[in-house]
Amino acid sequence: MNIIEKYKLWCEQVNDTELKKELESIASDEEAIKDRFFKDLEFGTGGLRGIIGAGTNRMNVYTVGKATQGLADYINSITKNGSAAIAYDSRINSRLFAETTASVLAANGIKVFIYSELMPTPMLSFAVRRLGCDAGIVITASHNPSIYNGYKVYGPDGCQLTLEASAKVLELINKVDTFRGIKRINFDDGLKDGTIQYIEQWVIDDYLENVYKQSINPEICKNSSLKVIYTPLHGSGNKPVRAILDKIGIKNVTVVKEQEQPDGNFPTAPYPNPEIKQPFELALDLAKTQDADLLLATDPDCDRVGIAVKSGEGYTFMTGNEVGALLLDYVLSQRSQKGTLPKNPIAVKTIVSTEICNSIAKKYGCEIIDVLTGFKFIGEQISLLESRGESNRFVFGFEESYGYLAGNYVRDKDGVVTSMLICEMACFYKSQGKTLIDRMEELYKEHGNFLNRQKSYTCEGVSGMQRMENIMKSLSENPPLEIGPFKVTEISNYQTSEKKILATLQVEKITLPKSKVLAFRLEGDASVIIRPSGTEPKIKVYISCKSENKEQAIKIADTLENAISRIMGF
């Protein structure tokens, strides 16, 4: 079926008023039709993510229903009397998509547990494990703009689906007829007959108790004068983050009122991403009168955390890598001091995250495991340890994109436990007359001036996707031997699972799963890693270098950024 035929079919079959209006409004716009129907919304390892609207390449009740029918067929193929947990955030149509998902699963004989209000993504991972479910779904597009929504799928271990399971679900989804092949019951009828059930308060309480157990120095918070300004960015972190900070004794927390309530339009933060400065603008304004020690922000599904620290007359934003290094050092040093550090501890990070953590971990005899980008791979490592009865060896996991986890009670990054540990850590160093910035400077002096930088290049639409494909293909087939003035010493191609050492032409096997990632190791402790985003229309570049001082490191990073931009044609 070609694009126009798909469009006409949708015009005939769709009965949703808003979607029907949208389809009618693009009748004479060939490019708009093409963009909505040139492909099906991709179901990858993270599930679905796309722009909300009409068409096969959009997030709507039909694409959500089709994905859920495929997932239901998968669950029923591996177990009898299956069950699933569902959560959702504040995004446009999140509750609608969550209830659609519940209705389809219940119609297929799968018991559904669903939160009655928006909840953070890690609380979905927790519910899957705590309720013994066979799968979990969270409706979110994380920190993307308001036009997006998504559908993330989890396995019985509380981790996002494995590559193998995702492939099987996709195979079953492709067999589903969008308009005639989806079973569905009325959501309210499901609640009445018990096939759909709201998740009870004790699960939420149990989650918060497990988060609290990750506190290392809770007593330090009760006696601290730490002042915090917190913003949930119109998302799901508001209640659980405030609850856990109160539980550990941090009472001086001011919430940014304009960003407190759920709102999927994100009126004050068009890019509700705590990795960037704009969402902090209202917190910065509030800080002029509140004089807080720390500004804290969680993204809409509360799995990422960003911070700004009081510094002189203003505030300094800390990168995801810096916060990860600080937390790893804090967890290892304090647990070591208290005698609670397990024998042969393990920390897990992604390949694009800072290597200062390797030096920090070595100091405490902690093994670092590097995995592909995506927290699901960190979760998989925890599950592997659990299968060997060694889950207590896991002490910390993080990725440079502001995602962190301490403890093994969930299998995804957790903004609630991270918020708690950041504030606790700030109290700890404040008691010594230090800020988190002061502590970071100490780590740089001890381990070296590591600098990490990420640059994203947006490639929208059909042509953008093709451009990303062409760039990765060209770099793979004709890799640069120099990036700026720096010679390439190693090339790692994660798609072919090969690492080539250029000095000897020796080829080594990469044991991680295949992925569209290219890594170039350069002379002088520098590297450049390139990958297309799995969730956004972007190609991402990660630059890492180490130097004697910050100024020199910045110059090296600038040089590498300019050079790789030219090589890629941007």
- For 488-510, the pLDDT digits (tens) are 999 999 999 999 999 999 999 99
DSSP 420-466: HHHHHHHHHHHTTT--HHHHHHHHHHHH-EEEEEEEEEE--HHHHHH
Q: What is the pLDDT of residue 163?
A: 85
Q: Tell me the fold of 39-199.
A: Alpha-D-Glucose-1,6-Bisphosphate; Chain A, domain 3 (3.40.120)
- Residue 536 confidence (pLDDT) above 80: no
Record the tokens describing residue 457, joined without a space.
């290049």
CA atoms within 13 Å, Cβ hemisphere of 419? 34
Handedness of CA 162, 167, 173, 175 (dihedral sign): negative
Structure-token match 């890019």, residue found: 271
- Is 142 in the active site? yes
Question: What average pLDDT does the segment 125-143 reach?
Answer: 97
**pLDDT reported for residue 115:** 98
Query: What is the average pLDDT value for the chain, to the nearest integer?
Result: 96
- C-alpha angle 124/387/422, rounded to 5°? 50
Strands 518-522 and 486-493: antiparallel
Ranking 194-203, 237-246, 545-554 by mean pLDDT, the lowest is 545-554
| 164, burial (CB in 10 Å: exposed 0-12, middle 13-18, buried 19+) | exposed
pLDDT given at position 46: 78
Sorted by sequence, the CB contacts under 8 Å of residue 438 that are 6+ apart come out as: 429
Distance CA 371, CA 511 (A): 10
Q: Specify the domain boundaries for CATH 3.40.120.10 within the chain.
A: 39-199, 202-447
The half-sphere exposure of 511 on its side-chain side, counting CA atoms within 13 A, is 2
H helix intervals, 316-432: 320-338, 356-363, 375-387, 415-430
Euclidean distance between CA atoms 135 and 114, whole angstroms? 12
Residue 45: its pLDDT value, please?
A: 74
Neighbouring CB atoms inside 10 A of 175's CB total 11
Tens of pLDDT along 459-475? 988 888 899 999 999 99
* DSSP secondary structure, 188-216, as one string: HHHHHHTSEEEPPHHHHHHHHHHHHTT-S
Confidence of residue 565 (pLDDT cuts 50, 70, 90): very high
Indicate whether this model's pTM tops 0.85.
yes
Which of the following is catalytic: 142, 236, 401, 547?
142
Confidence category of residue 42, pLDDT binned at 50, 70, 90: confident
Query: Which two structure tokens, joined as six digits, stand for 221?
Result: 């918070």
User: Is 527 strand, coil or helix?
Assistant: strand
pLDDT at 1: 87
- CA dist., res. 429 & res. 184, Å (int): 54
Mean pLDDT is lowest, of 82-96, 238-252, 461-475, for 461-475
Q: What's residue 462's pLDDT?
A: 80
* Model pLDDT, residue 383: 94
What residues does 197 pair with on adjacent strands?
113
Q: How is residue 443 written in tokens?
A: 């780590």
Tell me the fold of 202-447. Answer: Alpha-D-Glucose-1,6-Bisphosphate; Chain A, domain 3 (3.40.120)
- Which CATH superfamily groups domain 449-568? Alpha-D-phosphohexomutase, C-terminal domain (3.30.310.50)
**pLDDT tens-digit map of 369-391:** 999 988 999 999 999 999 999 99
pLDDT single digits (tens) 390-430: 999 999 999 999 999 999 999 999 999 999 999 999 999 99
- What is the model's pLDDT at position 460? 84
Split at pLDDT 50, 70, 90, the class of 537 is confident
Amino acid 268: pLDDT: 97
Every domain range in the chain assigned CATH 3.30.310.50: 449-568
Q: Tokens 């409706």 map to which residue?
A: 139
Q: Given a cut of 80, is residue 535 above it in pLDDT?
A: no
On the CB side of 59, CA atoms within 13 Å amount to 26
Tokens 């909505």, located at residue: 36
Classify strands 135-139 and 148-154 as parallel, antiparallel or unpaired. Answer: antiparallel
* 524 pLDDT more than 90: no
